[in-house]
Amino acid sequence: MTASVLAAGVVEETVRAFFQGLPIGAGFALVAMSFVLTYKTSGVFNLAFGAQAFISAATYFELHVRRDWPIWSAVLVAVVLVAPALGLLLERLVFRHVHAASAVAKLVISLGLMVALPELFKLIVDYNREQPFGAVGIIPDGTTVYRLFGRYPVTRDEIAAFVIVVAAAVALAALFRYTRFGLRIRAVVQSPRMTELNGVNADWVSSGSWMLSSFFAGLAGVLLVPTTSSLGTVLEPQGYFPIVISALAAAALGRLVNLPAALFGGLALGIVTTQMRTHVPRDNVILAELQGPALPYVMLFAIIVFWPAIRRQVAGADPLLGVSPPPPALAATSRSRGMTIYTRIMALAFFTAVGIWTFGYANNFWISRITHSVIFSIIFLSIVVFTGLGGQIALCQVTFAAIGAFGAMQFAQRWDISVIVGMVAGAAIAAAVGAVLSIPVMRLGGIWLAIATLAFALFFHDVLVKYSWVGGSLFHGRGVPRPEFFGVDFSSRENFLILCVAILVLVGVLIILIRESSTGMALRALRGSETAAESIGVVSWRSRVIVFSVSAAIAAIGGGLLAMEERLVGYESNYDPQTGLFWLVIVVVLGARTVEGGVQAGVAFVIFPELVLDRWLGLHGAWRYVLFGFAAISFARHPEGLLEHGKRRSQALMQRAFGRRQPAMAAAGAGEPADSGTETGGEP
């Protein structure tokens, strides 16, 4: 008797969780399908999707809640006008010009847009997120509750979300299968150049598909407001990010190209989430976390690593990609001797001047800023190793930096070990974590590696950091000391700056040594052609492990120094995974291929908003996100970085002006590259 009552209770709970999960899943499915749509139609792995959704939702909120427009007109403007217009703008101004670029270049651009768009919107519209608002959906009286089968509660919002999502799925499937537009979209995705050779205007097809996918983003934006309001205020600029990442897991099920898989994956993810919330016991910390926000990240990581379709997927290459000119040689390898000497003298003079000013005249504020720039330069050198040397994109350097910071803190506070030893130990731990992480993602390339590492970073952020053996107690992460060794006390600002500069120089020299030696040779070979590299005996997994652990160790050293400089770990302000995305953007924009590029990015990250934006131009600090975010667009054209590009041009100009003969390398590398991942070789 009691057993059957119990069983009936379990059944009821399961069914209830099913109906609760369906609308959540519908939200995921809508985002996942839009993701697939964008990827299918433009080859862009659009992490800016959340930003597009946010802009529509915020527009809707502005019009309906703050200006009392009726729902229909606010939706009309936000979803039917603003969203496609934004899509058209993005396509016309950005993605049209990069459609032949590699998937990784497009990913970087979308990261830049993800950072830039919401900030720009806020600066233009004077959007005030502090304003309280009710979670107002687009359905009148959306919170009205109905009971399915007289028992299971669902709201009107939830029913509407589900119906709209299913209708959208059917419409999309029909579009791709039965219309000329759908056929052309598919052709353009494969090879825009090839499609144009067949007489189709690829640009128009591309515009149309971007407007369509942006419309879906807008729809998702306004639809998700009530569904996710329980997770917190969605109308934050980056509030859509967790939902986008969750939906990614669903989209990954279909390798980003299969719409039905995205639909069912999204629904399944929603249902699994609520089922776990209902049935899995909460007494175990890990199990409890898995019911919360961590589940999508774990699933995303697992799907990328274990889903055979993804493991087998080779980055689709445009058959006509080979017609693009190759990336140019670095400026430093193509300059004449006179130029080299001139450059070195100028650099020496510059650093001497900065040194004299810093130690003679600068106040505490500027010394601290300069120390910060040096430390961020070290952290950014880890991106130089991974992206510049290794030729891959990882989005978890922020996690390694955090590990270094926590390492220094834990060793100093718990065991009273010298903080510098703690920093080194933290670097060793980060290197080990990096090596372990590199194993499951070994065979992944391009965007999948980027997403897998992002999932790892988010998992660390949402789960691991809460453990006391990782993050300590976050609110007591204060009191990180500055080091003292060999009888020198580095606790004063000036001395600590000298220590940081010494470490930066050391790390920079080591990176150059690696780049020019056997390890660097193997990496350059692998980046050029993995098949050819293996044919001469390069062990690709070994190189991968080295890149992961060396770059993790460098980031961790930077993190340790940052903790000493700030005398606390400051996890929330320094090591948020989204901050890490901005790190990547700023480094690749300025130049990820050289040590100089990393240092310039570090200086720009810290000094630029203070000096140029605030003091000279009197602009809000958020403009840095807008400027560098949009500058990411240049990555497709100049994968070597803007500063490197500028350097090469000014160098060529000067050499011409002084009548120097141009070396052969410079002449051959002078062509403007259109993309980064070009296969080499002569004409086919």
**Minimum distance from residue 576 beta carbon to another protein (Å):** 32
- Cα(13)–Cα(404) distance, integer angstroms: 44
**Minimum distance from residue 340 beta carbon to another protein (Å):** 16
**Minimum distance from residue 300 beta carbon to another protein (Å):** 29
Instruction: Give the residue with the Cβ less far from another protein, 212 or 514.
Output: 514
Instruction: Give the residue with the Cβ less far from another protein, 200 or 665.
Output: 665
**What pairs with residue 485 in β-bridges?**
488
Binding site for another protein (CB under 8 A): 325-327, 329, 510, 513-514, 516-522, 524-525, 527-529, 531-540, 546, 550, 664-665, 668-669, 678-684
DSSP assignment, residue 148? E
Instruction: Give the residue with the Cβ less far from another protein, 298 or 550.
Output: 550
Instruction: Give the residue with the Cβ less far from another protein, 54 or 635.
Output: 635
Instruction: Give the residue with the Cβ less far from another protein, 360 or 682.
Output: 682
- Which distant-in-sequence residues (6+ apart) come within 8 Å of 484 by Cβ? 418, 490, 491
Read off the amino acid at residue 3: A
Read off the amino acid at residue 254: G
- Residues 44/112, Cβ–Cβ less than 8 Å: no
**Minimum distance from residue 312 beta carbon to another protein (Å):** 14
- Residue 287 to residues 370, 458, 463, 577: CA-CA distances in angstroms? 44, 17, 11, 23
- Which distant-in-sequence residues (6+ apart) come within 8 Å of 249 by Cβ? 265, 269, 296, 299, 300, 303
Instruction: Give the residue with the Cβ less far from another protein, 326 or 646.
Output: 326
Instruction: Give the residue with the Cβ less far from another protein, 109 or 330.
Output: 330
Token pair of 220 as six digits: 């998702």
- Residues 165/26, Cβ–Cβ less than 8 Å: yes
Please count the CA atoms within 13 angstroms of the CA of 181 that sit on its side-chain side: 12
**Minimum distance from residue 500 beta carbon to another protein (Å):** 20
**Minimum distance from residue 543 beta carbon to another protein (Å):** 9
From 664, 655, 668, 652, select the one nearest 338 (Cα to Cα). Answer: 655
**Inter-helix orientation angle 577-590/446-462, to 10°:** 140
Instruction: Give the other-Cβ count within 10 Å of 419's Cβ.
Output: 26
- Which distant-in-sequence residues (6+ apart) come within 8 Å of 353 by Cβ? none
**Minimum distance from residue 339 beta carbon to another protein (Å):** 17
Instruction: Give the residue with the Cβ less far from another protein, 36 or 553.
Output: 553
From 410, 430, 432, select the one nearest 419 (Cα to Cα). Answer: 410
Instruction: Give the residue with the Cβ less far from another protein, 6 or 532.
Output: 532
DSSP assignment, residue 487? T
- Which distant-in-sequence residues (6+ apart) come within 8 Å of 98 by Cβ? 105, 106, 109, 633, 636, 637, 675
**Minimum distance from residue 44 beta carbon to another protein (Å):** 23
Instruction: Give the residue with the Cβ less far from another protein, 40 or 335.
Output: 335
Say how many Å lie between the first and final Cα of the chain, rounded. Answer: 77
Instruction: Give the residue with the Cβ less far from another protein, 213 or 324.
Output: 324
**Minimum distance from residue 132 beta carbon to another protein (Å):** 54
Where b means 16+ CB within 10 Å and e means fewer, 323-334 reads ebebbbbbbeeb
Instruction: Give the residue with the Cβ less far from another protein, 238 or 519.
Output: 519
**Minimum distance from residue 638 beta carbon to another protein (Å):** 14
Specify the long-range contacts of residues 314-317, CB closer than 8 Å, at least 24 apart.
Answer: 315/102, 315/103, 315/445, 315/446, 315/447, 315/677, 316/43, 316/103, 316/190, 317/679
**Minimum distance from residue 241 beta carbon to another protein (Å):** 34
- 494 by DSSP, 3-state: which? helix
